[in-house]
Structure 1
Amino acid sequence: MMSKKIKLSVLDQSPVRKGVNARRAIEETTLLAQEAERLGYHRFWVSEHHNTTSLAGSTPEVLIAHLANHTQTLRIGSGGIMLPNHSALKVAESFRLLEVLHPGRIDLGMGRAPGTDRITASMLNPSNNWSEQDFAEQLLQLQHYLHDTSDGGIQAKIKAIPIAETVPTQWLLSSSGQSALFAAHFGMGFSFAHFINPHGGPQAVQYYRDHFKPSVDLVAPEENVALFVFCSEDEEKVMQQEALMSYRFLQLEKGGGLTSTGYDDIKDISYNFAEQERIKANKPRMIYGTPEVIKDRLTQLADDYDVNELMAVTITEHFEDRIKSYQLLADLFLSEGA
């Protein structure tokens, strides 16, 4: 097991639980951010999802402003802005304004995925053609806008407003390792989405480290790993939440979209052989268990990736269980003597 101190962070998707509305979901995200700050979590990221009623976080830059106003020291950021859905100029201006409002506290995490289905993505950005070259050009444009530099093209005539004295910390998110090259090339942080793909992550993170080029923003590689986590002292709750998450995975894979579901809705479902195999395949995406189990498994995962920051994604049927899980994780890793 590794001896380095593990930092904990939160990636929150603002889940709309069964029986509540989107307003309550955002209130719960806000309460969770405040509790995460109190507990000593390092950063708090929010996601971008579209065309789903089960996740309320469609506009990270708006939610980040709200959360930063309701916390004092916690780093707040996007996990992530889905860059192909937006223009580089718009992202630069949104995050420059956030940096002006909350200097030194803003993370700009970016991904290549749409955060939705292809039809919705085409409505968000009709010119998106899913090209790696376009993504690389967006990243380059973003650097120019954030640092007031130019490549001599038409971009030289444009300033991202407001002018800011500091630059948000930039991260690239990936579930396949493809963005490891971009993160290394541009000198950004790198976050691997183990909660989406539990395979190949350690190799992607190592590739990023091996090829990292220092930038004006980041002189040495910085990485973390995000995964689904649920911790409870009640083994029955662990079983129920794991069953619910397995059901959610199947919902997504079947293309039916997510619905807000409780354990009583799915407890009597019988899965066919193919579905059982998918449940087994998806299980490594999450680490669920009692505190004793969680501590060993998270420590081992951090050791496998050779990282000192883990980002927990927790979705539960009841909000109090979500809060309690983060409290138990803090007791395990962030308390004195942990």
Structure 2
Amino acid sequence: MLHERANNFNGIPLSVLDLAPIREGSNAEEAFKESVSLAQHVEKLGFNRYWLAEHHNMPGIGSSATSVLIAHIAGNTNYMRVGSGGIMLPNHATIVIAEQFGTLESLFPGRIDLGLGRAPGTDQATAYALRRTLNSGPEEFPMQVNELQDYFSDKPISRVQAVPGRGLDIPIWLLGSSDFSARLAAEKGLYFSFASHFAPRYTVPALKLYRDNFKPSDTLAKPYAMVGVNVIAADTAEEAERLASSQYMQFLDLRRGEARKLQAPIDNMEEVWTPMEKAAVLQSLDPRTTIVGDKDTVRKRLRAFQEETNADEIIIGSQIYDLNDRLRSYEIVAELFD
């Protein structure tokens, strides 16, 4: 499944998670151009896959129409895998997702991943706007995954067929930040990705649950787990900490219920947050999974987390305001490839 051109760190491939950040003073058009630049850059550096995440009603995140943006990124790259990290399945009719990803796989054969989450990726009011009802919810997620697999099967059991989609081999990943998707991925023999970049405390228990209960399937003979990490790297530790303030402010906005675009970095976060707010933000952005620093710091912490989790792959997000700083951050990570 892994592309032969992918390089690796500590024996495993590294990948990229992109939210298509919309910067203060910019717009979605520029965000998408920057995502293409980043994708082309990391493909040359040897990263394995490039995923985009579905979020809604967030002025600083441009990846809401995830399938459309996947097509744009795949069309502007050559061989790197491109996919969703993830599609929030309760927001959609499963046949629509089957058709969208059937179309993507038909356009870019052998390059498309379908990562699925069961959260709405937004607030309740926006979830209602997406679905026009809240009668269905995350508890129906296992049934929706079954429906998707049926649509992709070459022997569908329903009169309704996904065209394109039927008979296509599109890897399905289950994404989670708790034990629910870990159990389901194990039961169904699917790939699993844990959102350790914002739920670090539950990472090791969820991975153990997945591996201990994994049942081989036609899709996967043995468990394959990927973990998420935030990395903000710069040539000096001081500059990396300054760049990280953009992500700190993004999490602070979420805590305060404020909606803003990604803010430019500042020199002193102590002027912005209270001690209680700081503690809450840093609890979510645990130093094990939010790595801020120079190359040596990134190497040590990335290796330590991979060895702690025994992850098969690490996917890296970097909410950095300036594109050039973002490109440089991934260059520093790539300098660690074996």
Q: What is the TM-score with the length of structure 2 in the denominator?
A: 0.92
Please state whether the residue corresponding to 2:79 is helix, strand or coil.
coil
Residue in 2 that maps onto 1:295? 299
Quick one: structure 1 residues 101 and 132, their matched pair in 2 at CA, closer, same or farther if it must change by over 3 Å?
Answer: same
Contact kept, 8 Å, 1:47 with 1:57, in 2: the verdict is: yes
Q: Which residue of 1 aligns with 2:195?
A: 193
Write the distance in 2 (CA, Å) between the matches of 1:163 and 1:236: 49
Aligned position for 1:232: 234
Within the candidate set 67, 70, 91, 1:64 is matched to 70
Alpha-carbon distance in structure 1 between the residues aligned to 2:70 and 2:285: 31
Change (3 A) 1:283 1:138: closer
The residue that corresponds to 1:31 in the other structure is 37
- What is the aligned partner in structure 2 of residue 183 from structure 1? 185
Q: Which residue of 1 aligns with 2:81?
A: 75
1:162 counterpart letter in structure 2: P
Separation in 2, partners of 1:321, 1:327 = 10
| CA-to-aligned-CA distance 1:269-303 (integer Å, 9 cap, x gap) | 25333123213323314111110011010011011
CA 279–120 in structure 1, closer or farther in 2 if over 3 Å, else same? closer
| Matching of residues 1-338 of structure 1 within 5 Å | 4-129=10-135, 131-150=137-156, 156-264=158-266, 267=269, 269-284=271-286, 285-333=289-337, 338=338
Deviation at 1:128, TM superposition (A): 3.7
Partner amino acid, structure 2, of 1:331: E
> In structure 1, what is the Cα distance between the partners aligned to 2:272 and 2:52?
34
Alpha-carbon separation, structure 2, partners of 1:16 and 1:203:
34
Is contact 1:84-1:128 (8 Å) kept?
Answer: no
CA distance in 2: counterparts of 1:239 and 1:264, whole angstroms: 10
Q: CA–CA distance in 1 between the matches of 2:53 and 2:215?
A: 27
Q: Cα 1:23–1:203, aligned 2, differ >3 Å: closer, same or farther? A: same
State the shift of 1:175 in Å.
1.1
1:147-172, CA deviations, whole angstroms, 9 ceiling, x for partnerless residues? 14455xxxx11111125553211101
- Structure 1 residue 324: deviation in Å? 0.5
Deviates more, 1:236-245 or 1:15-24: 236-245
1:148–1:159 contact (8 Å) kept in structure 2: no
Q: Is the 8 A contact 2:246 2:319 kept in 1?
A: no
- What does residue 3 of structure 2 align with? none
The unaligned stretches of length 5 or more in structure 1 are: none
**8 Å Cα contact 2:86-2:114 kept in structure 1:** yes
Q: Is the 8 A contact 2:244 2:320 kept in 1?
A: no
Task: Tell me how far 1:4 sits from its aligned partner.
Answer: 5.0
Alignment CA distance shift 1:258-1:188 (3 Å): farther
* 1:14 CA displacement: 0.3
Q: 2:66 and 2:138 mapped to 1: Cα distance? A: 23
Task: Provide the rounded CA distance (Å) in 2 between the counterparts of 1:222 and 1:245.
Answer: 29
Q: Is the 8 A contact 1:103 1:166 kept in 2?
A: no
Contact kept, 8 Å, 2:61 with 2:261, in 1: the verdict is no
Could you tell which deviates more after superposition, 179-188 or 22-31? 179-188
| Structure 2 unaligned blocks of 5 or more | 1-8
Aligned length: 328
> How far, CA to CA, are the matches of 1:239 and 1:308 in structure 2?
28
For the 8 Å contact 1:291–1:329, the answer to whether it is kept is yes
The alignment partner of 2:44 has SS state of: helix
CA deviations 1:27-67 (Å, max 9, x no partner) are: 11111111111111010001111111211111111111111
RMSD: 1.8
| Distance in structure 1 (CA, Å) of the matches to 2:139 and 2:270 | 48
